[in-house]
Chain A
């Protein structure tokens, strides 16, 4: 059985790439980096690795148990079934799309994923701004169907590792557009800048990991507009470089809201979209976008919104 953790081997590449982008920033865009923000983002990356090692055991146990009930069996040497690797990679990326979308539409999951979005900068260090609290959500359950199909948990983990490595390079402003054919199929810096934007037209779009085709298929794709400056971060920017506050602020917000809310609304603060409130005192991303459209006559929200409205986990969300 292959014992491979691709992200572990990619760390030196990450360091060199961040270094190169810093030099680019020095020459072309010094404000693309902010030392304190960089320190927080990179610390997120380190903490995430440690948290994953310490807390990931439960997910592994669930996967190994589920694997016992697999529908198809690739045999004892499953890693030698060559075609299973690309199939697993594509299906894992489809899984990523949905877990990522849920991460923006369910506050419980957003509490963890918001960590990746809380920087007001968009550079390669932002890519390493990974959550510490992922194991506290149920995101790993989205992979169970792949396990039940017969893909070994190790194969899924390796494919997921390469997926994460792919997503590293798209966190940059140094690349404007890739060739048209590439932009059409793959997730790119341009598509992912949109995903990290808080501009109303961009909220909750472009959830793709590797293949942007999922957003086009499920109606959540929005192209980058050249004449509008992108603002990165979250709707309510943190205003603090405190690492622990950045890690836990949304969890604390949920606990506070659940504590204060009337009984019939408590669960909604956990399961409904970020920005939702029982008294209408806050704004979801759909509300922000609707106001912007009414004011500016902007284009109708991406098809995504209509699809999302029909979807059980949808409804609106805070920035992403």
Chain B
């Protein structure tokens, strides 16, 4: 019995793909130094939204995520994504819940997920995030 060429080719390609991805993992490629300090946070925020100026920030204890605020009061969530970082300006759709020092931020965006941050001022950030858009709607 002969297999269709497309099937054979696809199976070979799939094997090569899995092998290369496994090799990348075995070579320990990737990795992220973490959001190490204020200077890095400023750079990250500027990369995510060009011109975003950090006036205030809070870095998660494990340095995998942070919340930053600009002089206009816009709040941005920054988190690691593989060996890069991603971020979102908090919209009125977003919500946050604080449990002691743990803050959970849900940007309500498909596949972006809920971000968990351990922060000293979790309650204050939760209140600020949940207040986004309220002034406009009032």
Closest to B23 in A: A22
A32 on the B face (CB < 8 A):
yes
B32 on the A face (CB < 8 A):
yes
A121 on the B face (CB < 8 A):
yes
A231 on the B face (CB < 8 A):
yes
Question: Cα distance A230–B25 when bound, in Å?
Answer: 25
Contacts of A292 in B (CB 8 A): 50-51
Question: Cα distance A291–B51 when bound, in Å?
Answer: 8
Please pick, from B9, B20, B86, the residue contacting A18 in the complex, using a CB distance under 8 A: B20
A30 on the B face (CB < 8 A):
yes
Given contacts A22-B29, A31-B30, A42-B20, contact A50 B6 (CB under 8 A): yes
In the bound complex, do residue B6 and residue A238 qualify as a contact, i.e. CB atoms below 8 Å apart? no
| Least CB distance, A173 to chain B, in whole angstroms | 13
Please pick, from A11, A15, A22, A241, the residue contacting B24 in the complex, using a CB distance under 8 A: A22
Question: Cα distance A288–B31 when bound, in Å?
Answer: 30
Number of B interface residues, CB 8 Å?
34
Question: Cα distance A245–B23 when bound, in Å?
Answer: 25
A22-54 interface code vs B (CB 8 A; 1 in, 0 out)? 110110001111111111001101100110010
In the bound complex, do residue B32 and residue A46 qualify as a contact, i.e. CB atoms below 8 Å apart? no
Please pick, from B6, B17, B21, B83, the residue contacting A53 in the complex, using a CB distance under 8 A: B6
Question: Cα distance A39–B14 when bound, in Å?
Answer: 10
B110 on the A face (CB < 8 A):
yes
In the bound complex, do residue B81 and residue A237 qualify as a contact, i.e. CB atoms below 8 Å apart? yes
In the bound complex, do residue A31 and residue B83 qualify as a contact, i.e. CB atoms below 8 Å apart? yes
In the bound complex, do residue B111 and residue A120 qualify as a contact, i.e. CB atoms below 8 Å apart? no
Given contacts A35-B21, A37-B82, A245-B111, contact A295 B13 (CB under 8 A): no
Please pick, from A19, A33, A245, A249, the residue contacting B29 in the complex, using a CB distance under 8 A: A33
Given contacts A22-B23, A245-B111, A291-B51, contact A43 B84 (CB under 8 A): no
A205 on the B face (CB < 8 A):
no
Q: For chain B, residues 101 to 115, give those with C-beta under 8 angstroms from any C-beta of chain A.
A: 110-113
A239 on the B face (CB < 8 A):
yes
A190 on the B face (CB < 8 A):
no
In the bound complex, do residue B111 and residue A26 qualify as a contact, i.e. CB atoms below 8 Å apart? no
State the majority secondary structure of interface residues on B: mixed
B3 on the A face (CB < 8 A):
no
Tally A-B pairs: CB < 8 A: 112
In the bound complex, do residue B82 and residue A46 qualify as a contact, i.e. CB atoms below 8 Å apart? no
Closest to B48 in A: A237
Given contacts A15-B16, A22-B20, A42-B17, contact A35 B25 (CB under 8 A): yes
| Least CB distance, A202 to chain B, in whole angstroms | 12
Please pick, from B21, B32, B47, B112, the residue contacting A42 in the complex, using a CB distance under 8 A: B21
Closest to A46 in B: B13
Closest to A125 in B: B20
| Least CB distance, A318 to chain B, in whole angstroms | 13
In the bound complex, do residue B9 and residue A49 qualify as a contact, i.e. CB atoms below 8 Å apart? yes
| Least CB distance, B78 to chain A, in whole angstroms | 11
B138 on the A face (CB < 8 A):
no
Question: Cα distance A231–B10 when bound, in Å?
Answer: 32
B28 on the A face (CB < 8 A):
yes
A311 on the B face (CB < 8 A):
no
In the bound complex, do residue B10 and residue A34 qualify as a contact, i.e. CB atoms below 8 Å apart? no
Closest to B43 in A: A229
In the bound complex, do residue B86 and residue A239 qualify as a contact, i.e. CB atoms below 8 Å apart? yes
Question: Cα distance A120–B32 when bound, in Å?
Answer: 13
Contacts of B14 in A (CB 8 A): 46
Question: Cα distance A239–B81 when bound, in Å?
Answer: 6
Closest to A50 in B: B10
In the bound complex, do residue A200 and residue B21 qualify as a contact, i.e. CB atoms below 8 Å apart? no
B27 on the A face (CB < 8 A):
yes
Question: Cα distance A23–B32 when bound, in Å?
Answer: 18
Question: Cα distance A133–B84 when bound, in Å?
Answer: 27
Question: Cα distance A8–B6 when bound, in Å?
Answer: 11
Contacts of B21 in A (CB 8 A): 35, 38-39, 42
A306 on the B face (CB < 8 A):
no
Given contacts A33-B30, A120-B82, contact A231 B47 (CB under 8 A): yes
Question: Cα distance A34–B20 when bound, in Å?
Answer: 11
In the bound complex, do residue A200 and residue B17 qualify as a contact, i.e. CB atoms below 8 Å apart? no
Q: Apart from A22-B27, A31-B32, A121-B83, list 5 A-B contacts with CB within 8 A.
A: A35-B29, A36-B30, A46-B10, A239-B79, A292-B50
